[in-house]
Amino acid sequence: MSTNEPKPRKRRRQYTCEFKSDAVTNVIRSGRPAAQVARELGIKPNLLAKWVRLQLAKKDLEAGQTDGLSPSESAAEIKRLRRELGHVSEQRDILKKVLAILSSDENSRSK
């Protein structure tokens, strides 16, 4: 092979819809990790994990249980909401302490 000749390209394997569906069903019903099932089927683990994510997202769409966000957007939104919840919880705790102090002052004055 001379240096001027291009390398032959590898052909991508194509899988039937039935194969993909069976593989995803195998992961979901067996409860085994996608990587383990992928090894048994002779495919790459990340490919099977992608099929599972797509299948679950498709089911969510069909059931109307989506918020229109991608998984990474959902994760970012959850992170933001948790941060906000922590901040609001701190504010609530401060207000409770202030209320306790004020009510104890009022009780001591009225006596």
**Are 84 and 103 found together in one domain?**
yes
Question: Does residue 4 lie in a domain region?
Answer: no
Q: 41 with 23: CB under 8 angstroms?
A: yes
Digit-coded pLDDT (tens) for 77-103? 899 999 999 999 999 999 999 999 998
Question: What's this model's pTM, rounded to 2 decimal places?
Answer: 0.49
Q: Name the residue range of residue 98's domain.
A: 68-111
**Residue percentage of the chain with pLDDT more than 90:** 51
Q: 72 with 53: CB under 8 angstroms?
A: no
Question: Does residue 36 lie in a domain region?
Answer: yes
Residue 68, amino acid? G
**Are 53 and 85 found together in one domain?**
no
